[in-house]
Amino acid sequence: MSSGSDLYLGLMSGTSLDGVDLAIVDFSNSWPVVLHCLTEPYADSMTHRIQELIRAPNITIDALCQLDVEIAEFYVEVVHQALAVASISSDSIIAIGSHGQTIHHNPEQIPRFTLQIGDPNILCAGTGITTVADFRRRDMALGGQGAPLAPAFHQRVFQSSDKSRIIINIGGIANITHLPTDTEEQITGFDTGPGNTLMNYWISRHLNKSFDDKGAWAAAGEVDTKLLKGIISGEPYFLQKPPKSTGTEYFNPQWLDKFLSEERRPVDIQATLLELTAQTIVMGINCLEALADECYICGGGVHNEKLLKRLQTLLPNTTVQSTASLGINPDYVEAIAFAWLARQTINQQPGNLPAVTKAKAPAILGGIFQKTCTNSRF
């Protein structure tokens, strides 16, 4: 590795609860260069236990602490695996940016709080790499939502002086970032509501599959317009003005069950849930009161062909395509973003956008867990 390299490693475990995305990124040039990336799924048992923590009204300290350790140990294994495959030494990595696994995110509740687990002490000790983690709580301490944090990175890499753009990230939860052509204008970003989470839950329940491949099952059903209208009109979050953020602890099976009082074909409910995701994303875009020339999709939802077709239909005057067309793999945008956020923190630069989160001020995010200095004298 050249002496001029500027390597960071990003880890992102999202609301889809499917595992961890990893990206090793070189920021030494004007454009981030991804040297290696991978996705490592959680074991089914771990996914199930995370879901239990998120959905349960009460959890035990033992269950929370055990998963905090086990997720961190899992991250350590994944980092070692990636470094070995990429033939990159741990000493070459300046820092790891670890998002952790969100268990609860409640920016509207009093007191307001957010919690991500995956102990960064274990991650730092197990990899020998300085680790930056706990990115969201500094923003919340300053009155912000603590989310979304990716818009600052979107601004850094995707903003264009020629075309106004919207970045749509479709993970378990969907969020959007509006990037105007004028760099003096404020960036806007917020969570629009469910992305893949309800569709994943529904197909798991009925077909024992973890996701709807290409949206094929949804495409085989018919949208129940009565149910769709009832869900949209019955959920205040969809009409709430930004800033706003949410999570799978809110949009979960219990939330969905409130609207399913009548017997319906499961395939039609899947079609309706896909339409719900598409329409609420577009509702979010429409509330911006700003025209966008281009929309770029990232996150797992980029592989749902039916969903992307619906978004293009609902946005007839806007080009809808993957961030791959801009040179960034759509599956790893957020992992790259957290590598970048770690770099911001290490370099004492802010990582949030107050215009997005409504924090009182820009903030250096997260805590730094410094690797052990082997030649220290006590």
- Domains (range + CATH), the chain: 7-145+332-369 (3.30.420.40), 150-331 (3.30.420.40)
Q: DSSP letter string over 319-348? A: EEEEGGGGTS-GGGHHHHHHHHHHHHHHTT
Rounded to two decimals, the pTM is 0.95
- pLDDT tens for 314-363 read 999 999 999 999 999 999 999 999 999 999 999 999 999 999 999 999 99
Whether the pLDDT of residue 301 is over 70: the answer is yes
CA atoms of 65 and 54, how far apart (whole Å): 14
Task: Give the pLDDT band (50/70/90) at residue 377.
Answer: very low
- Strand-pair category, 19-26 with 33-41: antiparallel
Q: What is the pLDDT of residue 3?
A: 56
- pLDDT tens for 239-293 read 999 999 999 989 999 999 999 988 999 999 999 999 999 999 999 999 987 778 9
- pLDDT tens for 356-368 read 999 999 999 999 9
SS3 82: helix
Cβ contact 245:139 at 8 Å: no
- Cβ atoms within 10 Å, residue 161: 9
**DSSP 8-state secondary structure symbol assigned to residue 193:** E
